């Protein structure tokens, strides 16, 4: 009987001691983090830009092969930065944080500019879904980044 009682009571004790996560507050942190990342992208500082991705990140973009891992994504960022007239910015639209507070996803809009072959700027917009994971240090890192072009 004592063993049965212990099995029933222990989960209750542990569940009561678990700190409830303020998902709204975490969501606001993530929205600000995304805006900060967008500003970092405007600097062209590759190391600063790449720091927002996790080491095991995945990047998926319209018409491009899937990129796996931070190093492969870094090569894409460096290559994009060398395109004449290249710039990218985005704005988060909404965020949803898991009840446990360690995973989240955002819906975002982006704007991409680059020059055509004679130097005229081309501007495209897209829709983005990003998946975020909180690491052991309590930092949010982008785990999955999926971008599709808007239909014109």
Q: What is the pLDDT of residues 36-75, one digit of tens each?
A: 999 999 999 999 999 999 999 999 998 899 999 999 999 9
Neighbouring C-beta atoms of residue 111, cutoff 10 Å: 15
pLDDT at 113 over 80: yes
5 or 147, which is more confident: 147
Mean pLDDT computed over 132-137:
95
Q: What is the pLDDT of residues 83-97, one digit of tens each?
A: 999 999 999 999 999
Supply the pLDDT for residue 151: 77
Supply the pLDDT for residue 17: 46
Spatial distance between the Cα atoms of 50 and 75, rounded to a whole number of angstroms: 10
pLDDT at 31 over 60: yes
């Amino acid at each position: 009987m004592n063993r049965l009682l212990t099995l029933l009571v222990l989960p209750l004790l542990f569940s009561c001691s678990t700190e409830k996560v303020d998902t709204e507050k975490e969501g606001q942190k993530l929205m600000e983090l995304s805006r900060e990342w967008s500003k970092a992208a405007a600097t062209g500082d590759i190391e600063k830009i790449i720091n927002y991705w996790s080491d095991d990140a995945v990047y998926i973009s319209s018409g491009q092969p899937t990129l796996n891992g931070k190093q492969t994504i870094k090569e894409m960022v460096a290559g994009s930065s060398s395109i004449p007239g290249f710039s990218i910015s985005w704005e988060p639209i909404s965020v949803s944080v898991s009840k446990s507070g360690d995973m989240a996803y955002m819906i975002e809009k982006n704007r991409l500019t680059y020059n055509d072959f004679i130097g005229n700027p081309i501007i495209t917009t897209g829709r983005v879904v990003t998946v975020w994971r909180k690491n052991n240090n309590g930092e949010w890192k982008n785990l999955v980044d999926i971008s599709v072009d808007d239909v014109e």
